[in-house]
């Protein structure tokens, strides 16, 4: 676990009296760009790869298969209960690598800042990125900064590219899904969407809902270390659990059947969804995934996930059947059936 006291009490190293906000010159590649990198980014994100100070990072050859992914993060507001755009940018990319069965190793970090972004805001985001990278055991090895013309109150967009290594022989992906597989959900759903919505709209509930923003690689590596036969995984981010399942059904050419009543949803999340006419199955998450394993390994996989994630009710929510139809059917407690499909638009835009 990272030492979260490492940067406590540190002040933003850029003189606020002179530059309290990002200006266009911070993206010029000149003195202010150098100051931003040397005084704000490098002290927090420092590691031997970044210290090379070259146009790219020379990485050690692990002599194994490489997995690479990239993601952009546009969440609004930048800070929300349980997380922020910095934490989200690291964990989101780490989780994409984990869903491929890869061990996360290296990240790139690109910041697109709007002129007028508060320097203290940027400093807090950078510290959060540093903590999340340390917690995920990854190094940020290269990056870029750009400043765009001011149109609002100081936007911040982040792009991260992740590289990981495959340290096992399993083949994991949609094409590996088989009839009879059990579908496991790693925890309750909808927290991230409601956390961001409540912060964006200034809403409060009797029980505060924190985003589930978290790294998933340790759970996945534990499953692999215990020789769980994993056929496929997918994190339930934009579009939520339902979208992840529909995409996998189409990509695998299989039919999934899930039981609505066993899908865990926090009562406060469920109430908020009812209030705003939202479907929790489509609510974004940033720390949940669906797992496809053969029936013989399902109970052991479930036990391991619960061991790593004691506070959240992981459960088996359904199975893959023999029906030759690329779709997902949700069955309720009364036997009613509905087909899950892709939404035309976002229930909640700018969520991750």
Whether residue 251 contacts residue 174, with contact meaning beta carbons closer than 8 Å, is answered with yes
Give residue 170's pLDDT: 93
Residue keyed to tokens 């459960």: 315
Which residues lie below 8 Å from residue 132, measured CB to CB, with a gap of 6+?
Answer: 2, 86, 87, 89, 90, 91, 215
Give residue 306's pLDDT: 93
Residue keyed to tokens 């974004």: 284
- Residue 185 pLDDT grade (very low, low, confident, very high; cuts 50, 70, 90): very high
Which residues lie below 8 Å from residue 267, measured CB to CB, with a gap of 6+?
Answer: none
Q: Could you tell me the two tokens for 297?
A: 């390994």
Average pLDDT over residues 15-24: 75
Give residue 17's pLDDT: 53
Per-residue burial over 321-348, b if 16 or more Cβ lie within 10 Å, else e, is eeeeeebbbbeeeeeeeeebeeeeeebb
- Residue 99 pLDDT grade (very low, low, confident, very high; cuts 50, 70, 90): very high
- Residue 56 pLDDT grade (very low, low, confident, very high; cuts 50, 70, 90): confident
Q: What is the mean pLDDT of the chain?
A: 90
- Residue 21 pLDDT grade (very low, low, confident, very high; cuts 50, 70, 90): confident
- Residue 3 pLDDT grade (very low, low, confident, very high; cuts 50, 70, 90): low
pLDDT over 70 at 54, yes or no = no
Average pLDDT over residues 147-169: 92
Least confident residue range of 24-28, 113-117, 223-227? 24-28
pLDDT over 60 at 217, yes or no = yes
How far is residue 30's CA from residue 16's CA, in Å, rounded to a whole number?
19
Whether residue 254 contacts residue 177, with contact meaning beta carbons closer than 8 Å, is answered with yes
Go through the domains of the chain in sequence order and give each one's CATH number.
24-166 (3.30.1330.10), 174-340 (3.90.650.10)
% of the chain at pLDDT higher than 70: 95
Name the more confident of 318 and 35: 318
Average pLDDT over residues 56-74: 86
Phi–psi pair at 249, nearest 5 degrees: -60, -45
Whether this prediction's pTM lies above 0.85 is answered by yes
Average pLDDT over residues 247-259: 95
Query: 36, 30, 29: which is closest to 14 by C-alpha?
Result: 36
Give residue 59's pLDDT: 80
pLDDT over 90 at 179, yes or no = yes
End-to-end C-alpha distance for the chain, whole angstroms: 24
Give residue 6's pLDDT: 63
Average pLDDT over residues 81-92: 97
Least confident residue range of 63-67, 232-236, 242-246? 63-67
Average pLDDT over residues 34-60: 82
């Amino acid at each position: 676990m990272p030492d979260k006291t490492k940067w406590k009490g540190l002040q933003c190293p850029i003189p606020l009296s002179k530059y309290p906000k990002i200006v266009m010159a911070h993206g010029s590649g000149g003195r202010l760009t150098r100051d931003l990198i040397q005084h704000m980014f490098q002290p927090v994100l420092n590691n031997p790869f970044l210290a090379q100070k070259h146009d790219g990072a020379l990485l050690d050859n692990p002599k194994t298969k490489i997995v690479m992914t990239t993601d952009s993060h546009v969440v609004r507001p930048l800070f929300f209960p349980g997380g922020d755009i910095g934490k989200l940018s690291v964990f989101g990319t780490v989780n994409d690598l984990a869903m491929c069965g890869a061990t996360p190793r290296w990240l790139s970090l690109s910041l697109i800042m709007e002129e007028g972004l508060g320097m203290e805001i940027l400093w807090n985001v950078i510290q959060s990125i540093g903590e999340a990278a340390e917690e995920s055991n990854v190094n940020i090895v290269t990056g870029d900064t750009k400043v765009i013309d001011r149109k609002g109150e100081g936007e911040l967009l982040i792009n991260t590219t992740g590289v990981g290594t495959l340290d096992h022989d399993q083949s994991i992906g949609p094409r590996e899904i088989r009839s009879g597989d059990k579908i496991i959900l790693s925890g309750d759903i909808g927290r991230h969407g409601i956390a961001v919505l409540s912060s964006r709209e200034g809403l409060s509930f009797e029980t505060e809902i924190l985003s589930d923003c978290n790294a998933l690689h340790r759970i996945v590596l534990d499953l692999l270390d215990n020789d769980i036969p994993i056929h496929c995984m997918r994190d339930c981010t934009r579009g939520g659990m339902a979208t992840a399942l529909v995409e996998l059904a189409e990509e695998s050419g299989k039919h999934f059947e899930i039981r609505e009543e066993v899908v865990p949803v926090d009562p406060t999340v469920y109430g908020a969804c009812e209030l705003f006419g939202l479907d929790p199955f489509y609510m974004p998450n940033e720390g949940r995934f669906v797992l496809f394993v053969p029936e013989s390994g399902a109970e052991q996989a479930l036990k391991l996930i619960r061991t790593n994630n004691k506070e959240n009710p992981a459960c088996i929510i359904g199975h893959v059947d023999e029906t030759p139809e690329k779709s997902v059917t949700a069955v309720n407690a009364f036997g009613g059936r509905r087909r899950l499909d892709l939404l035309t638009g976002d229930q909640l835009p700018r969520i991750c």
